[in-house]
Amino acid sequence: MEKRVVFHIDFDYFFAQCEELRNPDLKTKPVAVCVFSDRGGDSGAIATANYIARNYGVKSGMPIKFAKKKLEKVNNAVFLPTDFEYYSEISQKAMDAIKEFADIFEYVGRDEAYLDVSMRTEGSFDKASHLAQQLKNVVRKSSKLSCTVGVSSNKLVAKIASSFKKPDGLTIVSPEKIESFLDPLPIRAIPGIGKKTEEVFSEMSLETILQLKTLDVFSLNSKFGRKIAAYIYNAARGIDNEPVSPRQEATQYSRIVTLKEDSKEYGFLAKNLENLCDEIHSTIIADSIIFKSVGIQFVQSDLSNKTKSRTLKNPTSSLDELKKTVMHLLSEALEDQQLLVRRIGVRVSDLSKISGQDNITRYF
């Protein structure tokens, strides 16, 4: 049996990198992508910051007010609202390229995936190194994204390795090097160990994974309970038997496009929506999917969102039904439309997989 070889792919500072792709001028500026709350003003938190902003101490999860304070003396700092539909578009391109390298592909999130490549590398970490570099090159070519790859014999160590040399890094940790790789790292390098758990170990004068290994499982049990203790005990030793598993079925299919000009003119918007319907339809047919819910989305000139949706009487994969429903929703949305529309999108959801009577289901 071949040795297990697992890749962990992590797109670098993903939301901010997407914004740099859209506007290359941002590459030389501190950029923070923000999740603004409903309270208005600067209420909310930082989703992602680019590395220039991080050099000033701006971090994910930090309140926007704190981040602005850290950058108050920087004239060219940029704070942007999140645009998840756009990030999903970029992610999809990259993930489609990545899947081609996998024996088994596991989607984790827009910026993260695991690949089991044991068969195609024949368990060789030399071959894995070449494959990982090819993957990085293809991702950059297909989506212009940089990513960091960790390679090891299990998901846990691969994930830790992908955090080791960022951005645009590649770290290979073959089985015989796991111990020497993990031992000097801070305890917080173990996924799932946060600030509070780290403080517990700090009070015990334990800072590194090597020092953590001096604790037996019974001592860990008394501090954290059996389940967490077992995880920490095994993680410190690089033990993880969880398989790379294919991702869950999609809960929706969506497409969104930035318009050539801001508009609220029906004919112009309808033409763009028709093109998006054609794109979605070709995807759902290829994936043998039927849908029961249809929605449209406006990103308006002030970057606010507006959505309309409708549930159909019966599931379908009919392009005519999709377009007819989308045009009804567009008419309704434009009745009280004040702002110009900047980006426009289509979504189908409430999905089912066609099985067996594929052709007849599509016919109906």
Q: Across-strand partners of 178?
A: none
What are 251's strand-pairing partners? none
Q: Could you report the per-residue pLDDT of 226-238, keeping only the tens digit for each? A: 888 999 999 999 9
Which CATH number characterizes residue 75's domain?
A: 3.40.1170.60
- Given this model, what pLDDT does residue 290 score? 82
pLDDT at 317: 84
Domain boundary among 177, 196, 221: 177
Q: Is residue 1, in this structure, part of any structural domain at all? A: no
Which residue, chain included where needed, has tokens 């800072």?
Answer: 207
Q: How many CA atoms lie within 13 Å of 145's alpha carbon, on the beta-carbon side?
A: 32
Contact call for residues 317 and 327 (beta carbons, < 8 A) = no
Q: What is the CATH number of the domain that holds 139?
A: 3.30.70.270
Q: Please check whether residues 136 and 207 belong to one and the same domain.
A: no
Q: Which of 158, 177, 196 is the last residue of a domain?
A: 177
Nearest-Å Rg of the Cα atoms of the chain is: 24
Q: How confident is the model over 8-37, as pLDDT tens digits?
A: 999 999 999 999 999 999 999 999 998 776
Active site residues: 112
Domain identity same for 257 and 347: yes
Please tell me the predicted confidence (pLDDT) of residue 357: 34
Kindly report the pTM of this predicted structure: 0.67
Residue 190 belongs to a domain with what CATH number? 1.10.150.20
List alpha helices for 103-259, DSSP H: 118-121, 125-143, 155-162, 178-182, 195-203, 209-212, 217-224, 226-236
**Cis peptide bond upstream of 175, omega within 30:** no
- 101 and 67 co-located in one domain: no
Phi, psi of 293 (to 5 degrees): -125, 140
Could you count the other beta carbons within 10 Å of the beta carbon of residue 108?
14
Structural domain including 123 reads 6-13+85-177
Supply the pLDDT for residue 36.
Answer: 75
Give which of 289, 292, 349 is closest to 315, Cα–Cα.
292
- 121, 218: one domain: no
Work out how many domains the chain is built from and give that number.
4
Q: What integer pLDDT is reported at residue 230 of this predicted model?
A: 92
Domain final position from 83, 110, 137 = 83
- Which domain CATH number covers 285? 3.30.1490.100
- Which parts of the chain sit beneath pLDDT 70? 1-2, 37-40, 248-250, 353-364
